[in-house]
């Protein structure tokens, strides 16, 4: 049970707020997780100065002018606030290699890099990256922070406790730290509040990303509460018993000048209670009612429902399609898009309050989409490349009839087919009708790069065959390659969307795709779609095999037709007619060709690949 704690202020408000910019927290007006999200909006766009820039920041701003006042590096793992320090570091005493305590200082990530994959901007965020003794930093490793009991742990002969009293051992599974018994690291009392406020900052600043990262014992997997009960109790206790110091105030001010954002819990310590005391709310919201499905098309429909009630307030609603979470919204209406034509879908909705309490599922409502139209009304994924090394690319096609600005579109991967989408990659530029937009890694094969419109090393383009990739519009999934949270094995392969597919779908169907071997790049940069085919004219026509593997392709038809073959440069190679009830064999060298067939005033073009 999370204890509701009363915040005691041991310092004057004027001291803490002395350098807070006017109006900085004007929009922080809520309570509970609403306040946390408001703070996220205030602090989330800081300037990433880069990892190496921290070195210059340390020698200017992490200097001891508070204890010894000797201008050495202030290291929370070696500082002795009431006596002589066991050792000190001059500003030029940084390094990467060490043997014993006191050798040198390096960069300590209070929240371990392994949690967020060493990605930026987390890796270089000065609020949580401190200069500390290299050996103690390695000793702490990626262990959680906690209260060490009697069972101490030693590593490679290092003394424990360390020379300033920080220690590693099993968590004391009683009192305010009850609920966890594995190994933790405990700093000295002087800096416990500092650690707590760094954590509160970090889980607020990155609340939009944190639920997609690797599991960590201190975290509960949510994006709101974030901290598991035991560690929330520990950090609140440390926060209250080690109030904000002048050192923290000064460092917060300097970080604001350095990277443009502040730690709200240094400026306003009362925010901790205002946000996390709401976790005492255990009452579930009422169940949403009166679900309506209307404005049904071949790939979308509109939803509406009556609002739920709660003892505090309803924060949002989760929408489930066929028992799978589709979207979260604060509204009581929603447009469901990216559906498959002529398909039956069932909808459930739950209400979520500010404390994360969920209602029961609503009564199910179901409807079927219309038969597929003959037009395309949305962008879709047209090619997926997961080749060797960094040969990874996603191609997006536009056959909507208009130029589409990509500001509203993004990609994300479902990491290792887990339960969450990873960090979004914003798409850039625009796509003209009939064209494609290729996103690839910057160190991919030159053939991929020659056809790329956007280069990135972001998480979304770091898939490995078991990571479904989703196309999002306004943060809503509209198309996907791979089964979300399912079995996926598409490594070392290229998949091209079949030409008959007209629209995106959130339900992955491997039959919509054609497979090609590892490092097949000849299809990247263009996509064909048969939008103008009069199916009544060409239904008898059969073209096979696709792709061709023995330098020939067959055309079989019950009616007469005329055909042309063009190479990839547009040069016409064949111009012939064929009789009804015949089969024509065309022999071609390996490459990419375009077959154009004419009949009764209509025509269509098909891409032919000869392997």
Per-residue pLDDT reduced to its tens digit, 245-269: 999 999 999 999 999 999 999 999 9
Residues 95 and 146 in one domain: yes
**Burial of 36 by CB count in 10 Å (0-12 exposed, 13-18 middle, 19+ buried)?**
buried
Span 135-157, average pLDDT: 89
Domain assignment present for residue 530? The answer is no
> Dihedral sign, CA of 175, 233, 271, 267?
positive
Buried (b) or exposed (e) across 351-390, using 16+ Cβ within 10 A? bbbbbbbebeebeebebebeebeeebbbbbbbbbbbbeeb
Per-residue CA distances from 343 to 67, 104, 253, 293, 535 (Å): 70, 64, 57, 14, 22
pLDDT value, residue 16: 40
Opening angle at CA 425, ends 423 and 431, nearest 5: 155
What is the side-by-side strand order in the sheet with 148-152?
148-152, 167-171, 183-186
Q: Helix 53-61 to helix 246-259 angle, to the nearest 10 degrees? A: 140
Residues 446 and 501 in one domain: yes
pLDDT value, residue 381: 98
Range with the largest mean pLDDT of 24-28, 97-101, 488-492, 546-550: 24-28
Residues 251 and 114 in one domain: yes
Domain assignment present for residue 78? The answer is yes
List of residues 6+ apart from 369 with CB closer than 8 A = 296, 297, 298, 299, 300, 301, 339, 340, 341, 342, 343, 345
Residues 209 and 313 in one domain: no
Q: Is the pLDDT of residue 376 over 50?
A: yes
Residues 31 and 64 in one domain: yes
Phi, psi of 192 (to 5 degrees): -70, -40
The string of pLDDT tens digits covering residues 395-414 is 999 988 889 999 999 999 99
User: Can you read off the two tokens belonging to residue 312?
Assistant: 């505090």
Q: Give the domain extent around 107.
A: 13-280
* DSSP conformation letters of 137-157: HHHHTTPPB--EEEEE---TT
User: CA–CA separation, 366 vs 232, rounded Å?
Assistant: 41
Q: Is the pLDDT of residue 361 over 50?
A: yes
Residues 158 and 63 in one domain: yes
Look up the pTM and report it: 0.48
Residues 83 and 147 in one domain: yes
Q: Is the pLDDT of residue 387 over 90?
A: yes
Residues 304 and 272 in one domain: no
Residues 29 and 151 in one domain: yes
pLDDT value, residue 372: 63
Range with the largest mean pLDDT of 91-105, 242-256, 564-578: 242-256
CATH of the domain at 344: 2.60.40.10
> How many structural domains does the chain have?
4
pLDDT value, residue 286: 93
* DSSP conformation letters of 369-407: PPPPPSS--S-EEEEEEE-STT-EEEEEE--SSS-EEGG
CATH of the domain at 584: 2.60.40.3080
Q: Quick one: pLDDT band at residue 7, thresholds 50, 70, 90?
A: very low
User: CA–CA separation, 493 vs 516, rounded Å?
Assistant: 6
Last residue of a domain, one of 456, 483, 516: 516
Residues 86 and 181 in one domain: yes
Q: Quick one: pLDDT band at residue 151, thresholds 50, 70, 90?
A: confident
Q: Is the pLDDT of residue 556 over 50?
A: yes
């Amino acid at each position: 049970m999370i204890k509701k704690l009363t915040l005691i202020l041991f310092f004057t408000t004027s001291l803490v707020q002395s350098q807070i910019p006017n109006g900085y927290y004007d929009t922080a007006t809520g309570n509970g997780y609403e306040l946390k999200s408001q703070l996220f909006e205030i602090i989330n766009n800081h300037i990433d100065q880069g990892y190496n820039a921290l070195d210059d920041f340390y020698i200017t701003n992490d200097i001891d002018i508070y204890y010894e006042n000797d201008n050495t590096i202030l290291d929370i793992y070696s500082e002795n606030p009431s006596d002589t320090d066991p050792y000190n570091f001059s500003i030029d005493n940084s390094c990467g290699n060490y043997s014993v305590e006191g050798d040198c200082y390096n960069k300590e990530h209070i929240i371990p890099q392994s949690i967020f994959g060493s990605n930026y901007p987390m890796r270089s965020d000065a609020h949580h990256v401190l200069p500390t003794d290299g050996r103690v930093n390695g000793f702490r490793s990626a262990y959680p922070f906690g209260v060490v009991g009697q069972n101490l742990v030693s590593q490679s002969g290092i003394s424990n406790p360390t020379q300033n009293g920080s220690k590693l051992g099993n968590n004391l599974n009683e009192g305010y730290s009850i609920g966890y018994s594995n190994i933790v690291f405990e700093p000295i009392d002087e800096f416990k509040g500092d650690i707590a406020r760094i954590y509160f900052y970090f889980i607020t600043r990155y609340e939009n990303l944190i639920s997609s990262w690797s599991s960590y014992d201190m975290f509960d997997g949510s994006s709101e509460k974030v901290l598991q009960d035991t560690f929330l109790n520990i950090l609140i206790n440390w926060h209250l018993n080690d109030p904000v110091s002048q050192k923290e105030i000064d460092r917060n001010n300097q970080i604001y000048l350095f990277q443009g954002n502040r730690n709200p819990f240094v400026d306003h310590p009362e925010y901790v209670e205002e946000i996390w005391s709401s976790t005492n709310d255990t009452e579930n919201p009422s169940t949403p009612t009166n679900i309506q499905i209307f404005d049904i098309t071949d790939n979308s429909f509109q939803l509406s429902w009556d609002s739920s009630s709660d003892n505090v307030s309803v924060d949002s609603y989760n929408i489930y399609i066929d028992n799978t979470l589709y979207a979260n919204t604060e509204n009581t209406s929603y447009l469901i898009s990216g559906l498959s034509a002529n398909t039956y879908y069932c909808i459930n909705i739950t209400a979520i309050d500010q404390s994360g309490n969920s209602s029961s599922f609503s009564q199910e409502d179901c409807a079927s989409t219309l038969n597929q139209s003959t037009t395309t009304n949305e962008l879709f994924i047209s090619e997926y490349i997961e080749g060797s090394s960094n040969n990874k690319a996603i191609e997006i096609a536009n056959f909507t009839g208009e130029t589409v600005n990509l500001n509203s579109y993004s990609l994300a991967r479902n990491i290792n087919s887990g339960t969450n989408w990873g960090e979004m990659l914003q798409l850039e530029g625009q796509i003209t009708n009939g064209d494609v937009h290729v996103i690839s890694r910057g160190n991919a094969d030159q053939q991929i790069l020659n056809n790329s419109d956007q280069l990135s090393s972001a998480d979304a383009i770091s898939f490995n065959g078991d990571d479904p990739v989703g196309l999002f519009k306004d943060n809503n999934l509209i198309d996907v390659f791979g089964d979300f949270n399912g079995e996926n094995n598409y490594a070392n392969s290229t998949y091209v969307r079949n030409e008959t597919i007209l629209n995106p779908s959130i339900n992955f169907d491997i039959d919509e795709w054609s497979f090609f071997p590892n490092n097949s790049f000849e299809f990247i940069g263009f996509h064909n779609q048969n939008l103008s085919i009069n199916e009544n004219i060409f239904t008898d026509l059969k073209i096979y095999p696709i792709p061709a593997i023995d330098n020939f392709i067959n055309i079989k038809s019950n009616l007469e037709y005329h055909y042309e073959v063009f190479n990839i440069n547009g040069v016409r190679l064949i111009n012939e007619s064929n009789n009804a009830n015949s089969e024509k064999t065309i022999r071609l060298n390996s490459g990419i060709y375009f077959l154009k067939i004419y009949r009764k005033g209509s025509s269509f073009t098909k891409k032919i690949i000869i392997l």
